[in-house]
Chains A and B, each alone.
Chain A
Amino acid sequence: MDSRAIIDQLPRLRRYARALVGDRAAADDLVQDTLERAWSRIGQWRPGGDLRAWLFGIMHNLHIDQVRRPSLDGPSSGAEEIEVPIRATQPERMELEDLAAALARLPQEQSAVLLLVALDEMRYEDIAQTLNIPIGTVMSRLARGRERLRRMLDEHPNPSNLRVVR
């Protein structure tokens, strides 16, 4: 195994975490938790397996736990407080903020699949393995997530879209 295997995954893990929870500090906490769990479960790692799927799977499960059990003292993860790390022009920025807000309102199971597909560009079968669900479920969550996102963005068009005659 490449001795830099996990280090090399860090940028992508951080990106996925940011997309899942929005806030930068909370996202890095999630990455930290993921690494700590990987450390404690190193016995489950099988050489020859897919390291990326393993790590993303751990992160996914941790995030589900967090969503189900919001912490009492910190800000809750997700939704409204998405921090948009974009560099973009003003109209683009507003569109992207709409997208970020809509993403945060997707059911967690749909956003997880959508992000792995669209952002991480994982293959559908690798996502099935990562999330431990059948590939048919990957496809149906992807379809529902994308349609839901599309409807949300249609219903709340940003100012640049309002100019379009409807």
Chain B
Amino acid sequence: MSKHMVTDDDLHAYVDARLPPARRAEIEAHLAADSEAATRVRAYQAHRQGLHDLFDPVLDEPIPASLRELAAEIDTRLEARGTRFVARRLLRSRIAAGVLIASFGGALGWLAHGIHRPAETLAAGTSLHRQAAVAHAVFSPDVRRPVEIGADHEDQLVTWLSKRLGVPVRPPKLAALGYGLIGGRLLPGNSGPVAQFMYQDAAGRRLTLLVSTEVATGGDTAFRFAQEGPVSVFYWIDGKFGYALSAGIPRDELARVAADVYGHLENR
């Protein structure tokens, strides 16, 4: 028998070659001892092979010209769009957010003092990405107390942070990306509080989302990237909020997560 319990998910991940070699070997040992599981795995493998035998020939078929032409047109438009992905798009989209403003009233006066700053900086002092990277580096390695209020009290967390920031803020749900909310905390910004939400994936990798209302009202920005030592940061400004997503993972991977986080906030 293997050292660790073998779950159903393990068997599927084995069939789909999604396991690291060490775990793979453990599953193989388990299968050698469990003929019922081995039968299932063989059947699943046969399905996989059968589906490829059935449908892979489609890959070699000539593609109808009408589809090719339509695809080429969309590619051209996507490319154009990629180069002018800025603010206005975001602005037009419904105001954002998992970290969402329900009413601006209370926040306007408070925000007004930041008005003359370039869009991607905070009202004064430390830049958004720098602030996020430092906060990530300080709190994400903390084993015992990474957050002030845990996800088990998400309601309290939301109420408290919303009250302190003066606008409703809410952590986006990233479960579909494999990241579960651990909790959040309040941090000092340049002129007032900012919020940090922390997430963790199954491998224990942590991701933090800094939400600041200390942004100038000069407009939205595109995604921007910064590398601060080992911490990668994607940051952007959407309406009254500045967001910075930090993690110690490669840029490409974080870009994917950031795009999803942005989409999640937008579709809320």
Contact = CB atoms under 8 A, between A and B. Distances in A.
A10 B16 contact: no
Given A45-B78, A129-B177, A19 B63 contact: no
A159 B193 CA distance: 72
A123 B78 contact: no
Main secondary structure of the interface of B (DSSP, over half): helix
Interface in A123-151: 123-125, 128-129, 132-135, 139, 142-143, 146-147, 149-150
A35 B77 CA distance: 13
Contact of A85 (B58, B223, B260): B58
Contact of B260 (A92, A100, A129, A153): A129
A119 interface: yes
B104 to A, nearest CB: 24
A105 interface: no
A162 interface: no
A149 B44 CA distance: 9
A165 interface: no
B205 to A, nearest CB: 13
A87 B78 contact: no
B113 interface: no
Best-surrounded residue of A48, A86, A103, A124 (most CB of chain B within 10 A): A48
Interface string A37-57: 011001101111111000000
A7 B55 contact: no
Given A36-B70, A85-B54, A134-B175, A11 B59 contact: yes
Interface of A: 1, 3-7, 9-12, 14-15, 18-19, 28, 31-32, 35-36, 38-39, 42-43, 45-51, 84-88, 92, 95-96, 99-100, 103, 114-115, 117-119, 121, 123-125, 128-129, 132-135, 139, 142-143, 146-147, 149-150, 153
